[in-house]
Amino acid sequence: MQTGKFQRLILHIDADAFFASVEQGFNPLLRGKPVIVGGRENQRGVVHTASYEARACGIYTGMALGQVRSQCPEAVFLKGNYEHYRAVSRVFQEVYLRYTPAVEFTSLDDAYLDMTGAQHLYPSPEWVAKAITTEVFAKTGVGLSVGIGSSKLIARIASGLKKPRGMVHVPAGEERSFLAGLPVDVLPGIGRGAKDKLTDLHIFKVKELAALPRIVLEQLFGKNGVKLWELANGYDERPVQRRIIPGQISRETSFEEDTGDITIIKGALQYLTERIAKKLREQDLAGRTLSVKIRYSDFRRNAKSRSLNSPTNNGSEMYHQAFQLFEEICLRRIRLRHVGVSISNIEPLNYQSFLFNDKSRQEALNRAVDDIRDRFGFMAMLPADNLELKRKYRMEPHGYILHNPALTR
């Protein structure tokens, strides 16, 4: 609900089953067939995206690939190609930015468009939504669902209501009635734990949540309770930000086969931290808290985090910390199937704080490495340990094609 002078107008645009839609859009042989992106049927791993035809057979994201065939004999399995999806996402961006400069890209396939200042240029928000979805479909074959509302919350929920290729417009002033009948878990911040708590209180719908006194939610969920109460009542003033600082950047991979080979594990950790460091430097960001997680071949997991003395985007510093963490958590003599590294507490790079220390040489080196990679591709320059991965993975100029190519970036 908007209290300011101008009524905000936000579009949330979300691609339907994005990876599978891209594959179907670029290959007519796949249209109308149940498409699974994530890997081969005999490969370990899970479904990353299932087309709507596959979903109709009961296939869902996160399902083990090995289970798919029994439920959906016609399924077509694809490994996927992240570079392809990124190229298609760039087409989306070009189209969106022609309608408004205020676009927040939250992932490859969804974005918020703030049309508040541009709405006088077009006949109606529905007209804009139709024009965008038609153009994107013509160029890529990918269907989009659009939600239109006065806030990011309303637009996001609306875009999910009529998938695929749906459009839902919630007029200003009708936010409360729109939310009232929806289940509580449509609200961001309500996960399984929070939903269970509310179920215990016999609260199932947003209107029941909205009717609670604010202080009750605060007592139940702490600071998040206040936010939740506001969202349940339709208050969401979050702006559409052209640049968002991610809460976390993570890179992880499953090994093709379980491994206890420390050179492969070190190579993977170093490669993953290098990719995170590059991502941070691309966006002039640095992160303070590093986490490593592992999964053993018997599926037991372990993870550990550590805060660094100062924020960093230096790959070698991150790798040394990551390897220390790995040594602290990898105590069982069992092979590993999965490793992951992530960095959180991300903040914009503050050059001022680094003026009088010895980091400038390392920064100059990183800049030189980035320049070389910009010109010749990421793999033009790698720490030597990374080359161990060549024994296991296909190497392309932009990186190794890891276990799940759909997610390899």
Partner 1 sequence: MTFEDIFESIEVISHFKEGSLKPLRFKWNGRVYKVRQMNGHWVSHQGYNKQYHFSVISDSSDYFELLFDSSDFEWQVARVCLGG
Residue ranges that bind partner 1, judged by CB under 8 A: 25-30, 33, 40, 76-79, 83-84, 86-88, 140-141, 373-378, 380, 394, 396-398
State which amino acid sits at residue 125: P
Specify burial of residue 181 (Cβ count, 10 A radius: 0-12, 13-18, 19+): exposed
User: What's the start-to-end Cα distance of the chain, in Å?
Assistant: 38
- The 10 Å Cβ neighbour count of residue 260 is 12
Residue 110 Cβ vs partner 1, minimum distance, rounded to whole Å:
19
* Rounded (10°) CA dihedral 318, 320, 325, 326: 110
Q: Nearest distance from residue 112's CB to partner 1, in Å?
A: 24
- The residue among 82 and 178 lying less far from partner 1, judged by its C-beta, is 82
Report the candidate in 70, 68, 83, 66 with the shortest Cα–Cα distance to residue 19. 83
Q: Which regions of 150-265 does DSSP assign to beta strands (E)?
A: 167-169, 248-259
What tokens were used for 331?
């105590």
Quote the CA–CA distance of 149 and 129 in Å, as a whole number.
12
User: Quick one: 81 or 297, whose CB is closer to partner 1?
Assistant: 81
Long-range contacts from 225-228, C-beta under 8 angstroms, 24+ separation? 227/189, 228/187, 228/189, 228/190, 228/194
Strand order in the sheet with 285-296: 248-259, 336-348, 285-296, 301-312
Q: Which of 78, 264 has the CB closer to partner 1?
A: 78
Q: How far is the CB of 260 from partner 1 (least distance, A)?
A: 28
The minimum distance between CB 407 and partner 1, in angstroms, equals: 16
As beta bridge partners, residue 152 has none
Phi, psi of 322 (to 5 degrees): -65, -40
Shortest Cβ distance from residue 126 to partner 1 (Å)? 28
Q: How far is the CB of 396 from partner 1 (least distance, A)?
A: 7
The number of residues making up the chain comes to 409
Instruction: Compare residues 77 and 99 and give the one whose CB is closer to partner 1.
Output: 77
CB 47 within 8 A of CB 76: no
Please, which residue, 83 or 261, has the CB nearer to partner 1? 83
* Residues contacting 87, CB < 8 A, separation 6+: none
Q: Which residue has the tokens 């931290």?
A: 273
**Closer CB to partner 1, 86 or 332, in the complex:** 86
Other CB atoms within 10 A of residue 263 CB: 13
CB of 27 to partner 1, least distance (A): 6
For residues 85 and 323, which CB has a smaller minimum distance to partner 1 in the complex? 85
Q: Which is nearer to partner 1, 279 or 288 (CB)?
A: 279
**Contact between 402 and 253 (Cβ < 8 Å):** yes
Q: Among residues 347 and 374, whose Cβ is nearest to partner 1? A: 374
Minimum distance from residue 52 beta carbon to partner 1 (Å): 18
Cβ pair 245, 287 in contact under 8 A: no
The CB-of-371 to partner 1 minimum distance in angstroms stands at 10
